């Protein structure tokens, strides 16, 4: 894969790992929404987002590895465990662009509010892109494609709003 393809793969996820990309994106957006008020610095927010995504990724690797072991009727070997981890890597990769914008805000390259908004915008774009991927797969007509993108973005934003309301 070219470096440009790798860049877009990290930014928007890959087709085979769309579940991890969507889940990671929603986790990132919800964490930002929950922590982006009350005097939280960009460094703190970047740290909380990064740590949250890594912890949930480890939990997913563990859970899926356990499920895979039970399905196979034996313990996974190292190579199989690494394959599970690689498959679930879409979750933390979904945090790369948003965390980068928060780090840029922490370094003073962006304002803190701008960094948080940009991080959330990356999430919205990612969710919209996944809706467009689905629409293309299903060969939806233009109205159906718009609905697919809007539904994907709306679902993600609803989760973020609910998370922010709780905090």
Q: What is the tens place of the pLDDT at every residue in 67-93?
A: 999 999 999 999 999 998 988 898 999
> Looking at the domain assignment, is residue 67 inside a domain?
yes
CB atoms within 10 A of CB 66: 13
Decide if pLDDT at 14 tops 60. no
- Whether residue 56 lies inside any domain: the answer is yes
**Can you tell me the mean pLDDT for 8-30?**
74
Q: What Cα–Cα distance (Å) separates residue 137 from each residue in 2, 6, 9, 117, 141?
A: 23, 21, 18, 30, 11
Higher pLDDT, 163 or 161: 161
What is the average pLDDT across 58-65?
Answer: 93
Q: What Å distances lie between residue 8 and 5, 57, 97, 98, 145, CA to CA? A: 5, 21, 11, 14, 21
Q: What is the mean pLDDT of the chain?
A: 84
Rg (CA), the chain: 17
Closest CA to 7 of 82, 100, 87: 100
- What percent of the chain lies above the pLDDT cut of 90? 41
Is the residue at 43 inside a domain?
yes
9 lies in some domain:
no
Integer Cα distance of 141 and 35 in angstroms: 39
Rounded Cα gap, residues 16 and 18, in angstroms: 6
Residue 165: predicted pLDDT = 72
Residue labelled with tokens 């994106």: 25
Range of the domain at 154: 16-166
Query: Is residue 5 domain-resident?
Result: no
Assess if residue 74 is contained within a domain.
yes
What's the confidence (pLDDT) of residue 158? 85
pLDDT of residue 166 exceeding 90: no
Residue 3 has pLDDT above 80, yes or no: no
Which residue is listed with tokens 């990769």?
A: 93
How much is the pTM? 0.79
The tally of domains found in the chain comes to 1
Mean pLDDT score, 38-59: 91
Q: Which two tokens stand for residue 114?
A: 């701008």
- Collect all residues with Cβ–Cβ distance below 8 Å to 156 and sequence separation of at least 6: 22, 25, 26, 29, 123, 124, 127
User: pLDDT higher for 106 or 14?
Assistant: 106
Neighbours of 126 (CB within 10 A): 26
**62 has a pLDDT exceeding 90:** yes
Residue 49 within any structural domain of the chain: yes
């Amino acid at each position: 894969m070219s470096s440009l393809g790798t860049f877009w793969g990290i930014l928007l996820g890959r087709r085979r790992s769309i579940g991890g990309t969507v889940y990671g994106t929603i986790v990132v957006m919800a964490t930002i929404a929950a922590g982006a008020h009350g005097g939280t610095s960009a460094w703190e927010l970047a740290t909380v987002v990064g740590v949250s995504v890594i912890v949930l990724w480890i939990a997913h690797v563990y859970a899926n590895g356990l499920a895979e072991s039970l399905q196979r009727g034996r313990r996974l070997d190292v190579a199989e465990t690494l394959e599970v981890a690689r498959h679930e890597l879409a979750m933390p990769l979904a945090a790369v662009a948003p965390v980068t914008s928060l780090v840029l805000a922490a370094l003073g390259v962006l304002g803190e509010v701008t960094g948080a908004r940009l991080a959330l915008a990356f999430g919205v774009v990612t969710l919209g892109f996944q809706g467009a991927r689905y629409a293309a797969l299903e060969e939806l007509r233009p109205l159906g494609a718009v609905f697919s993108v809007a539904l994907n973005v709306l679902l993600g934003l609803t989760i973020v709003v609910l998370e922010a309301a709780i905090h």
